[in-house]
Amino acid sequence: MKTLFNTIIILVMLFGWGCSQHLEKQDGNYTPPVVKNQPRLIYPKIAQENFYSGNSKVILLISKSGEVDKVYVAKTSGYNELDDAALNYCKSLTFTPATRNGKPVDTRIEWEIKFNFTDRNLEARDYLREFYLLLGRLHYSNSDERISIEREILQKHNEFIQNMKDGLNFNIIMEQVISPSLRKEWEEDWDAFPLSFLLYHDFITRFKDYDSLAAVKQLMYNALKFDIQYIKNTPANSNETQSEKQNILRKIKNFISKEYPDIVLDELGLDNKIDSRKEYVVVCKH
């Protein structure tokens, strides 16, 4: 049986305004920007495997439209992998822009992103416990209650996907939630990379009576894009890692083509460079 690695918690802390010379000075007419949308942040695979930890201090230049125009490392964590993860995360942030005298303005802020290990698995355990409690309630629910419970399950999935930063443990947790047949289909191939889209696929196939399946499919699509980008951005430091990346991308492509033929693969970044062969590359070890 697989065991859980130490869960990794990534803390993103907004530094106080005015704590750096790079930050805008506050006055009574200035309102700082507020995060509006933020992507998921997963600890880089190589950093987890090598137990890298540290703090990346970054400066963000935010436009009057709320987009991040530029981001750079002001103080390194000591590891390029962590600094790159911090930069990529910040590039995808969007803000309600800063204002001065009620008008949007360009501004600069300083963030510190902390990559720390902890031996606590409480969030993941809570998710599993609450998921099984909700499944138990379904057995005794009427039709009206069922939709409400299914909505709670979907919310638990959303929270888990957003908050679980530990890519190495993601699938180990997920395999305790998805159906046995889906687990059997993927468990030989997924160890290297988190595949959050499978949680939504499982929900779609398990709860066919849910009243907003189109919305769940959109969530699955968004998770797919993130998963694929994460896989592509993972450095291939060996032939084995490169093989793992190509194999899992190929399997995702075959799966989506079969289960969701209406999804445009090119829009997901699954182009013809990733062929659809059903056989997989085997890395020979000597």
Contact 6, 170 (CB under 8 A): no
Strand partners, 56: 113
Contact 56, 23 (CB under 8 A): no
How many C-beta atoms lie closer than 10 Å to residue 167's C-beta? 20
Q: How confident is the model at residue 196 (pLDDT cuts 50, 70, 90)?
A: very high
What would the pLDDT profile of 228-247 be if each residue is shown by its tens digit?
A: 988 888 777 667 778 888 99
60 closest CA partner among 92, 82, 26: 92
105 vs 96: CA distance, rounded Å: 11
Give the pLDDT score at 138.
Answer: 92
What would the pLDDT profile of 93-149 be if each residue is shown by its tens digit?
A: 899 999 988 899 999 999 888 887 554 456 788 899 999 999 999 989 988 899 999
Mean pLDDT to the nearest integer, 69-82? 93
Copy the structure tokens of residue 147: 């939709």
User: Does pLDDT of 252 surpass 60?
Assistant: yes
Q: What is the CA radius of gyration of the chain?
A: 21
Give the pLDDT score at 171.
Answer: 86
Mean pLDDT to the nearest integer, 3-20? 38
Give the pLDDT score at 47.
Answer: 81
User: Does pLDDT of 16 surpass 90?
Assistant: no
Residue type, 228: I
Q: Helix (H, G, I), strand (E, B), or coil: what is residue 123?
A: helix
Contact 90, 69 (CB under 8 A): no
Residue corresponding to tokens 């191939």: 189
Query: What angle do helix axes 143-163 and 122-138 make, rounded to 10 degrees?
Result: 170
Residue type, 74: A
User: In whole numbers, what is the pLDDT of the chain averaged over residues?
Assistant: 81
36 vs 96: CA distance, rounded Å: 6
Measure CA of the first residue to CA of the last residue in the chain; give whole Å: 27
177 vs 175: CA distance, rounded Å: 5
What is the length of the chain?
286
Long-range contacts, 254-261 (Cβ 8 Å, 24+): 254/278, 256/224, 259/201, 260/217
225 closest CA partner among 259, 242, 249: 249
